[in-house]
Amino acid sequence: MPSSSNDLSVDLFVINDNGVSIYKPSTERLSLVEIKDADDYGKIIKWYRESLIKISDKRPDVSWPSSPEGTKIVNATGPGQYNLNRPGSTWLLPVGDVGLEWFNQLLSSYEWSGFYLMDPDTNEPAGCADWIRPGFLEVGFPIPAFDELALMLHAGQAGAIVQNIRLASEALGIGAWMTGSYADDLVLGAYPEVAKGLGFNFISREGTLNPSTTTTCIGLKGVKEAVAVPTPRFKDAEAAVRYVADLRNNSATPFSASGPWKNGLRGPYEAETMESIKQNPRSYVADWAVEAAIATVDYIVKKYGCAPAYISPMRAKLSVQVHHVDPNFYRRYQGISGEPYALTDSILNHFPLWHPGHNDPAQNNNNQ
């Protein structure tokens, strides 16, 4: 999937009758071009089966009854509450580490764009005044606007995942219902008295320390943890900033000797070119940019209690649920003459192709 800044901050959670799993594909590569022809299609099933990690044996308790006690019309799961998380369906939920997007963008902005974060209350630099000079940091960017940018970058990745799932579902002949009407903090677990959801952890922030009164989700230990400060994983600004700065050079990246192009596989560059890239100082985040970012994060944490401050570090607002299609629904309400337009050949032939021997609802032409 496309990923802003190549940080792969979004993971796909698979929710079905078997429980909840997270899809964590390996970075191992078998060839430069993995899918050359139909003979390679089996790799896709292999990757899925080997990379699916179960984290719960049951669905999250998010459904129609997920409303605060004493309320009458509050639909925490939105207008689609009747359909959401229904037995028999598969809910594919992209969960994004918006905190990783935020820190990654902070480093990129400081080194390459000349922007610095600015306190919206004072219009003064957010802890980074020492680096404001020509050729370094030159133009102020309000903290809330920068936080919004990180959220937009996350939304683009989640949208690409949902679109890819919808395209695949159309080819397979199954329904794909895109939804974002639910309260994603509820789904992640912000209100356990209403629904435990996925059981993610949250930071409590009160009053002026929480300028947008947002919930602050920091993830689930050992499964998916947000880059945010302060958290059990990142206790201070330096830990988080240096972690993100080092990501491009860790063992899973092309710049590492043990990365995905090891074992003699030729990557996008010849060995000599790759080595020259690795030796070039411009391939690494400059020390001054790291120090300026640390100072900025320290400032934000001191003022707001958490970085990022105006958004939750973990979001899951856009998703897609897939299920079998009921052809007779469309025949009844859209079948003016002949088969409805919505019933594609893929839908009508789904059961013979994928479930041979099972009862085929497409053949039971009862539109009453």
- The pLDDT score that the predictor gives to residue 335 is 77
270 band by pLDDT with thresholds 50, 70 and 90: confident
The pLDDT of residue 169 is: 97
- pLDDT tens column, 222-265: 999 999 999 999 999 999 999 999 887 775 666 665 565 555 55
pLDDT at 128 over 80: yes
Q: Where are the domains of the chain?
A: 4-323
Dihedral pair phi/psi, residue 55, rounded to 5°: -120, -10
Evaluate the CA torsion angle 77, 78, 82, 88 in order and state its sign: negative
> Which segment, 60-64, 253-257, 277-281, 289-293, is predicted with the most confidence on average?
289-293
Cα–Cα distance, 198 to 220 (Å, whole number): 9
Q: What is the pLDDT of residue 249?
A: 72
Number of Cβ atoms within 10 Å of the Cβ of 330: 17
Q: Give the DSSP letter string of 49-61.
A: HHHEEEEESS--S
Question: pLDDT digit string (tens) for 21-52?
Answer: 999 987 777 777 889 999 999 998 999 999 99
Distance of CA 87 to the CA centre of its chain: 24
Q: What is the pLDDT of residue 274?
A: 77
Confidence of residue 282 (pLDDT cuts 50, 70, 90): confident
pLDDT the model gives residue 256: 64
Percent pLDDT > 70 in the chain is 92
Mean pLDDT calculated for residue range 289-295: 98
